[in-house]
Structure 1
Amino acid sequence: MKPVIFLLAFSVQQLYAQITTQQQLQIDSLLQQFTTTKQFSGTVLVAKNNNILYSKAIGLASKESAVPNKLETNFNIASMGKTFTATLIMQLVQEGKLSLNQKLSSILPEFAIKRADSITVYQLLTHTSGVGNYMMHVNYEAERHQLKSLNDVMPYVVAMEPTTGYPGEKFDYSNSGFIILGKIVEKLTGKSYNENLEERIFSKTGMKQSYIHYPATFVSPKEATPYLAYTEKTFVNGTADEFPGFSDGGMQSNVVDLYRFAKGLLNGKLLNTAMRDSMWSGKVKFGRGGMYSFGWMDNENEFGKHIYSHDGGGKGFSSDLRIVKEDGYVVVVLINNRVNPRDVSGNILRILYNKEAEKPIKYLENVLMEITEQKGFEYVCSNYKQILKEQGMDKTPNPWIYIMFSDMFENMKEIDKAFKVMEMGREEFPNEASMYNVTGQLYVNQKKYKESVEWFNKALAINANDEFAKMMLQSISSKLK
């Protein structure tokens, strides 16, 4: 057995040869800080070219059953799935079956998609088509669990009105656009989207545990359960609020399979170099200080590198995949809690490039929930200003604190407390339309539509161009008839 032991030891040594002990300890410390401040629960993998440098599983896949997360645990990767759809589209372009400048009307004439004669594949890939988000359809929330195919989703896509003045006008993130792209894949190949994933990506890269299935399940130990974890003690199971998965996101995958996907792109197994680089290179400015390309983000950074990425999030999941092509780095972060995954992956890259990691800060709303656990909700309400002072603040930093704190109570079905928090928020931010919109949304969620109208109109009185208030008034008008 000695030669075998020697070979195993040698392989482990080689595995970690490109990361220092200090860097490993720094990543360990970083993850521990995220666990303490934000209840991080999930898996992390760091690789360089063909070597895994670091991997770790933290927390529980099921809090109710005390099942731990493992590296092979599957997570809902949400909108990270758009990278797979973009890769399938670029394969079709590479094969000469599709053109980026081709008009949508010439590909899917059977669907009455608004402005289809002006929308190009390029615009769908870059979120500049203006086709909007089918999830905002008035019936989507109630009917989403019945949807099992792209054909089931297309009526919701077709029904939505354009969200921009004209195709190509500006970046406008669109789930509908990637549903349409998935349908294009099906139309040109004669196979389902899931069959294309299996044949064109999974089998070529060795991804053995990834899938989209209907209905979506989150059953441990194979799958992580989604949570909203507010403190170490207080959490909400988010399973009922998760969306079904399609070509715009929602795949079940794990850090090992996603590394294989990234490696397949780096090694040319999925696209040739020119086509891959065309997919990755930035095309359109968007809100995070970078460029959106074709289903990927070309992120600006302090390292002077091109970092190609896409993140995703559901109510109880967060994910991020980052690839540094020049150095071969791959960072995958999967979380079964609503934590910003970019904060985790970005700090891991800082450590790899010998920069100091930024310590995660506990959000004020989480501090307020901890105090609620210890001293009660009425104490927080009565002593709110004193609590702010104890946290080194003269006032609430922004309205979002109230919105998130209220959302915690709504998710815990403590509706009276959710309304009380928004009342406090309106007192401090009387000219902030979001305070009235969220109050209106609370009434909508209680099916109290007449009361909600009053609050959305108050939001419009502050900002006549408030798109959310307009949309909500339009969506509930039919319920008032």
Structure 2
Amino acid sequence: MNRILFTILLLLTATCFSQNNSGSKPIDLNRKGLEQTIDNYVQKFIDLDIFSGVVLIARDGNPFYQKAFGLADRDKNIPNTLNTKFDIGSMNKTFTKIIILQLAAADKLNLDNTLGKYLDGFEPQAANKITINHLLHHQSGYGDYHSPDFFDLPKSQKTIAGILPGIRKMNLMFEPGTDQAYSNTGYILLGAIIEKVTGKSYHQNVKERIVDKLGLKNTYLENKYQVPDRAIGYFKDTKGRIHDNNGFLEIPNPDGGFQSTAEDILKFYHSFYYDTLLLSTKARKLDPAFKFYEELKNSDRATGQAGGFEGANTALFEIIRDRLSVIVFANMDEPVAEQLGGGILAILRNENPKDPSLPARQSVYKAYKNKGIEYVREHFDALTENFHPSDPRDLILNSVGYDLMSDGDLDDALQIFRLNTQLFPEIANCWDSYGEALRNKGDNKAALEAYKKALEIRPDLPSSVQAVKELSN
């Protein structure tokens, strides 16, 4: 199949990061040596060259620890500062969610209304069965719109209006309301509904209803290239070569892409969790997440929000009982912000944090080159610890294989793809990618068998359908 350029699966979750601590005392930020311990821990990530960015720790909205690390622009040697703006990724979804809840509380829309009440052109299964609640909670059945067709669109069409025609053609993965699957598509649709209901652009709604109301003077909603003091995102390929992400997600949308500072996001989420400036009591009752947040007032468990893609990762950990916020902004690969933030959370609890490791793709490639394919097979789980837990693990070797194939290392790529089919034999894409490598090698007979295996698992996989048709003639 075509190489997946990048995956945007970042979280909009209410996640618990600790258990059985309901009787513990509030976290002590005055503990001797705490700042130095955090500094030392951050340095471990810097030494592996997997983190640059900002770390902010605050109590009740007041920063206790606030430092910038590394470079915002490696070519120009410009350092990150506390005023550097970072791509916040899927944290945008919280902005979108707030506006939907505001409109529902004002009786401008009903969360149980269906998609077809607001947007036309959808098949009946979507128009008549998907509700706004389904879209909010990733239960619509829609997957991700980040397909090759989307990436081929001109920049001017990577907007809500430009994305909608492609969404109308998408098939649902399941009956709306019967399952849950993370969906950037759902939040594009919520943005379109906001525009329909208010008669204003999505971005204007965010500005008037959130940014201006909170005085977020360092939060930018549109063209990222016009944002002053913007961090350029950096990611590494399989062989550890570094690339910038300037061509990614050029237009912010309801599912991701705003630029902001850690301090502005602290102010935003502090209001989201603790006051009624953005969300009235009525609005909060419309979302079951706030019932969960109430339960956390008697526990030191943390809820979290995160966002990211290649070269950008942001994470917030919030201990509601203590009104304690840990925010990490990184202009490097996910899931470094979540890992670093989780480790800092452990330090604040006087626990031992987990040491960082190389990203999964680099770790696998290094082990393969130094110790061979059997070592990778036997130690796959240990080698791939540094991989986002929400992403399918078959993507790791698939990405390594395509990196090797693009570099002309076809024999190495074949070994990697073959191993992926052995570790994940039930995943059609693994067989599809293996078939592509075999075909590039000239072994059409074996390639055809691999493609047929993919179609046994997923009969409608377009790349395998086309390949079988071509190889059978």
TM-score range, shorter chain: 0.7 to 0.9
- TM-superposed CA distance for 1:277, in Å, is 6.1
Show the 5 A alignment for 1:161-310.
161-164=171-174, 166-214=175-223, 216-217=224-225, 222-229=229-236, 234-242=241-249, 244-265=251-272, 266-273=274-281, 275-276=283-284, 278-279=286-287, 281=289, 304-305=299-300, 307-310=302-305
- TM-superposed CA distance for 1:317, in Å, is 1.1
Q: Distance in 2 between matches of 1:453 and 1:249?
A: 43
**Correspondence 1:95 to 2:106:** yes
1:343 is aligned to 339
Does the CA contact (< 8 Å) of 1:206 and 1:260 recur in 2? Answer: no
- TM-superposed CA distance for 1:473, in Å, is 3.5
Does the CA contact (< 8 Å) of 2:284 and 2:290 recur in 1? Answer: no
Q: Alignment RMSD, CA only?
A: 4.2
1:417 is aligned to 409
Q: Distance in 1 between matches of 2:108 and 2:94?
A: 19
1:64 is aligned to 75
Using the TM superposition, name which of 344-353 and 111-120 deviates more. 111-120
Q: 1:325 aligns with which of 299, 320, 324?
A: 320
Deviations, residues 41-92 of structure 1 (Å, cap 9, x unaligned): 1112111113111111111111111111112211111112111100111111
1:290 is aligned to none
Classify the secondary structure of the residue corresponding to 2:153. Answer: helix
Classify the secondary structure of the residue corresponding to 1:115. Answer: helix
Using the TM superposition, name which of 103-112 and 56-65 deviates more. 103-112
**Correspondence 1:312 to 2:307:** yes
Classify the secondary structure of the residue corresponding to 2:408. Answer: helix
**Greater RCO, 1 or 2 (C-alpha within 8 Å, sep 6+):** 2
Does the CA contact (< 8 Å) of 2:418 and 2:434 recur in 1? Answer: no
- TM-superposed CA distance for 1:170, in Å, is 0.5
Q: Distance in 2 between matches of 1:53 and 1:344?
A: 17
Q: 1:147 aligns with which of 140, 152, 157?
A: 157
Show structure 2 runs of 5+ residues with no match: 1-27, 385-392
- TM-superposed CA distance for 1:267, in Å, is 2.5
Using the TM superposition, name which of 60-69 and 419-428 deviates more. 419-428
Show the 5 A alignment for 1:122-161.
122-136=133-147, 138-143=148-153, 145-161=155-171
Does the CA contact (< 8 Å) of 1:320 and 1:334 recur in 2? Answer: yes
Q: Distance in 2 between matches of 1:155 and 1:465?
A: 29
- TM-superposed CA distance for 1:406, in Å, is 7.0
- TM-superposed CA distance for 1:264, in Å, is 2.0
Q: Call closer, same or farther: CA 1:406–1:182 in 2, change over 3 Å.
A: closer
Q: Distance in 2 between matches of 1:270 and 1:478?
A: 55
Does the CA contact (< 8 Å) of 1:403 and 1:422 recur in 2? Answer: no
Q: Distance in 1 between matches of 2:398 and 2:410?
A: 4
Show the 5 A alignment for 1:398-477.
404=396, 407=399, 414-417=406-409, 420-424=412-416, 426=418, 430=422, 432-433=424-425, 437=429, 440-441=432-433, 458=450, 461=453, 464-466=456-458, 470=461, 472-473=463-464
Does the CA contact (< 8 Å) of 2:307 and 2:315 recur in 1? Answer: yes
Q: Call closer, same or farther: CA 1:36–1:112 in 2, change over 3 Å.
A: same
Q: Distance in 2 between matches of 1:171 and 1:56?
A: 37
Does the CA contact (< 8 Å) of 1:19 and 1:53 recur in 2? Answer: no
- TM-superposed CA distance for 1:429, in Å, is 5.8
Q: Call closer, same or farther: CA 1:270–1:474 in 2, change over 3 Å.
A: farther
Q: Call closer, same or farther: CA 1:255–1:168 in 2, change over 3 Å.
A: same
Number of equivalences = 433
**Correspondence 1:82 to 2:78:** no
**Correspondence 1:384 to 2:372:** yes
The alignment's TM-score, normalised by the length of structure 2, stands at 0.77
Q: Call closer, same or farther: CA 1:34–1:218 in 2, change over 3 Å.
A: farther
Deviations, residues 369-416 of structure 1 (Å, cap 9, x unaligned): 679xxxxxxxx6475379x59xxx964447969964774685699522
Q: Call closer, same or farther: CA 1:396–1:479 in 2, change over 3 Å.
A: same
The one-letter amino acid paired with 1:415 is D
Show structure 1 runs of 5+ residues with no match: 1-16, 284-292, 372-379
Does the CA contact (< 8 Å) of 2:54 and 2:262 recur in 1? Answer: yes
2:33 is aligned to 22
- TM-superposed CA distance for 1:462, in Å, is 6.7
Q: Call closer, same or farther: CA 1:37–1:338 in 2, change over 3 Å.
A: same
Using the TM superposition, name which of 199-208 and 237-246 deviates more. 237-246
Does the CA contact (< 8 Å) of 1:114 and 1:161 recur in 2? Answer: no
Deviations, residues 282-301 of structure 1 (Å, cap 9, x unaligned): 89xxxxxxxxx9xxxx7999
Classify the secondary structure of the residue corresponding to 2:63. Answer: strand
Q: Distance in 2 between matches of 1:150 and 1:204?
A: 24
Q: 1:116 aligns with which of 127, 141, 145?
A: 127
Deviations, residues 429-452 of structure 1 (Å, cap 9, x unaligned): 63634898358559979x98x999
Does the CA contact (< 8 Å) of 2:105 and 2:283 recur in 1? Answer: yes
Deviations, residues 329-386 of structure 1 (Å, cap 9, x unaligned): 2222111111312212222222223322222233565356679xxxxxxxx6475379
Deviations, residues 300-351 of structure 1 (Å, cap 9, x unaligned): 99x9445332212212111112333222122221111113122122222222
The one-letter amino acid paired with 2:324 is Y
The one-letter amino acid paired with 2:44 is Q
The alignment's TM-score, normalised by the length of structure 1, stands at 0.76
Q: Call closer, same or farther: CA 1:396–1:123 in 2, change over 3 Å.
A: closer
Q: Call closer, same or farther: CA 1:385–1:477 in 2, change over 3 Å.
A: closer
Q: Call closer, same or farther: CA 1:51–1:141 in 2, change over 3 Å.
A: same
Classify the secondary structure of the residue corresponding to 2:111. Answer: coil
Q: Distance in 2 between matches of 1:241 and 1:195?
A: 23
Q: Call closer, same or farther: CA 1:96–1:395 in 2, change over 3 Å.
A: closer
